[in-house]
Amino acid sequence: MDDAKRLAMALNALVKMPQFSNGKARAAARQEPAVNWPATKAHNADFNPDVDGFESFLMNDGSTCEWAPGQFRYVARTRS
């Protein structure tokens, strides 16, 4: 869960910047070695930015850094 918390903190700092986008979130997440990219890609296979907001990122430790649309921020969660 620490991996997802670390990524959420980094992404939440970027969310406050003008013109934040999925591309910028993905680029920041690519800098985090704890992101499980095959699992993230599979999880976001049907992702639609117009409906879903921002992508979620699955971590190697089993946690998830996901977008909380009502809060306009990323949150760390344990994967169930």
Residue-level pLDDT, tens digit, the chain, 80 residues:
899 999 999 999 999 998 999 889 999 999 999 999 999 999 999 988 888 889 999 999 999 999 998 899 999 999 76
**Angle of helix 22-30 relative to helix 2-15, nearest 10 degrees?**
140
Domain tally, the chain: 1
Phi, psi of 55 (to 5 degrees): -65, 155
For residues 1 and 76, give the distance between their C-alpha atoms in angstroms, rounded to a whole number.
Answer: 7
Residue whose entry in the numeric block shows the structure tokens 């907001």: 53
Question: Can you give the residue range of the structural domain that contains 58?
Answer: 2-78
* Single pTM value for the model: 0.88
Number of residues assigned to the chain: 80
CA distance 3 to 58: 10
What are φ and ψ of residue 56, in 5° steps? -100, 155
